[in-house]
Amino acid sequence: MRPTAEHRRILEAGDWFAALPAERRDLILGEASVTLAPDAARLYGAGDPPNGLWAVLEGQVRLVGYPASGMEILVRILGPGAWFGELSTLDGGPRPHDAIAFGPASMLHLSQAAVTRLGEQAAVLYRDLGLLVCANQRAALAFIEQRAGQPTAARLARALAKAAAETGGAGPLSIRQAELASVVGVSRQTLNRGLRSLERAGIVALGYASIAILDPARLARLCGRGEPWA
């Protein structure tokens, strides 16, 4: 399936694609295809060779890492307009994470061969991919610094706000407490205490494997203040 005008609109709402010159956006879309994935479909797995560049058009994709034997961590929740897979696409190394569809999803896919063809037509594309790598690396470094230096309450607020932003902020977040605890870097018991405090304050509403953000403004203030939990 070829990308449509609506797919282009979704992608151009994202910072990286929108910053590209129109002719380079045209080149990418001309080589790309649209892939549909059912819930839990694995687009690639940790250790796999690169299979190209991806972007979310509808639904969600989750990047999952395995930092130690028997340990699983949710690295990112990706919503419409988010690009992923750029690191291995650029350096040819193995995939660092699993990329898994969460619910039915549709993705734009630019195969590894297509990336090579585009690079032959416009070598500056490799700089574009480098900028995408840099943007994601800066986000990762900021996350590490915040995780090391901020109170747990602020880390939880930031994790919730970031997940909401990456998924478009529409509807409750579909996330298990075990996943959120791995992102925040706390035990499930500590996380549950923090979530219950936010619920009592009217900032979130908790459901089964879901969290609805009721007061985004107060959540945003908590991101910087790190208020203690009751």
pLDDT in tens, 129-179: 999 999 989 988 877 776 667 788 888 998 898 888 877 766 788 888 888
Q: Is residue 16 within 8 Å of residue 83, measured between CB atoms?
A: yes
Q: Alpha-carbon Rg of the chain, whole angstroms?
A: 18
**pLDDT tens digits, one per residue of 91-125:** 999 999 999 999 899 999 999 999 999 999 999 99
What is the pLDDT, as a whole number, of residue 228?
Answer: 47
**β-pairing, 98-110 with 53-65?**
antiparallel
- 71 pLDDT higher than 80: no
* Average pLDDT of the residues in 58-85: 88
Judge contact between 53 and 45, C-beta under 8 A. no
pLDDT of residue 162: 84
Q: Are 108 and 11 in contact (CB under 8 A)?
A: yes
What is the helix (H) or strand (E) element at residue 110, kind and residue range? strand 98-110
The continuous run of DSSP H or E covering 77 comes out as strand 73-78
Indicate if the alpha-carbon torsion angle 16, 4, 108, 73 is positive or negative. Answer: positive
Residue type, 8: R
Pairing verdict, β 210-213 and 173-174: antiparallel
Nearest to 167 by CA among 97, 93, 91, 74: 74
Q: What is the DSSP string of 6-40?
A: HHHHHHHTSHHHHHS-HHHHHHHHHH-EEEEE-TT
Compute, in degrees rounded to 10, the torsion defined by CA atoms 169, 175, 177, 181.
Answer: -70
Q: Which domains does the chain have, with CATH numbers?
A: 5-145 (2.60.120.10), 151-225 (1.10.10.10)
Cα–Cα distance measured from residue 93 to residue 87, given in angstroms and rounded to the nearest whole number: 8
Q: How high does pLDDT run on average in the chain?
A: 90
Confidence (pLDDT) at 225: 57
pLDDT in tens, 40-70: 999 999 999 999 999 999 999 999 998 777 7
Determine the Cα–Cα distance for residues 141 and 147; give it in Å rounded to an integer.
10
Whose CA is closest to 214, among 181, 177, 172?
Answer: 172
Its pTM stands at 0.78
Instruction: State how far Cα 158 lies from the chain centre.
Output: 14
CB-CB neighbours of 141 under 10 Å: 10
